[in-house]
Amino acid sequence: MKLLLTPPSLDDFIRLLKAWRFWMLGAMLGALLGAVVYFVAPPPFRAQATVNVDFNLEQAWPQDTDRQQFYYLERESRKLEEIAWSDDVMGQLSSEFAIPIEELRGSKLQLSQPAEAGWHFYADDKDSKNASALASAWAEAFVAKIQAEIKAGNINEFVKLEATQSKNLSKQRRAPLSGYLLAGSIGFLTLAVFAVLFVKKSNPEGMTGL
């Protein structure tokens, strides 16, 4: 404990710099471990569907100030976001894919920051086809629900939606291999720092020779 609380001395930093071989070895081992983890337990696939949302501010508020248009955009965006995560939409997906609603909201689905223009609907799954189908179904269910709400008068009639990307979606791993390699290297380099600075060797000359 006393060693850990003692600030590193100049000799410690010199020993650290001299141990460059140890650093390189740690980085290589860390990257190798990261690659092993990636291929043994790979991250799930992520698919993205896109819905273009146009609030038509000029038609909805043709003579009002920019501030009023801002509040209109914020209010309508919040309505649409709540519908995207609503029980009706989530229940439809849950029934179609046999996935609990709690899991859909908790880990399977993600929605980009909603505003005017493209809304991105992300779905994660271990199977790439399931991820693509889930993202597509979510985007299409969202559009259908909003259109029904517009007809019912619950959403401003000037709001226009179009699923611009809901077919043949690209599927990629949620985290790339490079991220695992970098995390492994950084992790092992951090351990190497503690090993060089705080682990006392019976033969210090042997450490400086690394």
Domain boundaries, the chain: 2-41+176-208, 45-173
Q: What pLDDT, on the 0 to 100 scale, is given for residue 198?
A: 63
Q: How confident is the model at residue 2 (pLDDT cuts 50, 70, 90)?
A: very low
Find the DSSP H helices in 41-100.
Answer: 57-60, 66-84, 87-97
Amino acid at 6: T
On the CB side of 97, how many CA atoms lie within 13 Å of its CA? 27
Instruction: Reply yes or no on whether the pLDDT at 27 is more than 90.
Output: no
Residues 175-206 have pLDDT tens digits of 777 887 888 888 877 776 666 666 544 444 44
DSSP single-letter state for residue 63: T
For tokens 């043994």, name the residue. Answer: 40
Helix (H, G, I), strand (E, B) or coil at 171: strand
Instruction: Reply yes or no on whether the pLDDT at 62 is more than 70.
Output: no
Instruction: Reply yes or no on whether the pLDDT at 5 is more than 60.
Output: no
Residues 68-121 have pLDDT tens digits of 667 778 888 889 999 999 999 999 999 999 999 999 999 899 998 666 678 999
Instruction: Reply yes or no on whether the pLDDT at 61 is more than 80.
Output: no
The structure tokens listed for 39 are 């291929």
Q: What pLDDT, on the 0 to 100 scale, is given for residue 208?
A: 45
What is the separation, in whole angstroms, between the first and last Cα of the chain?
Answer: 26
Most confident of 26-30, 56-60, 122-126: 122-126
Q: What are phi and psi of 23, to 5 degrees?
A: -60, -50
**Per CATH, which fold does 45-173 belong to?**
Alpha-Beta Plaits (3.30.70)
Residues 115-174 have pLDDT tens digits of 667 899 999 999 999 999 999 999 999 999 999 999 898 888 888 888 888 887 877 887
The structure tokens listed for 201 are 């060797």
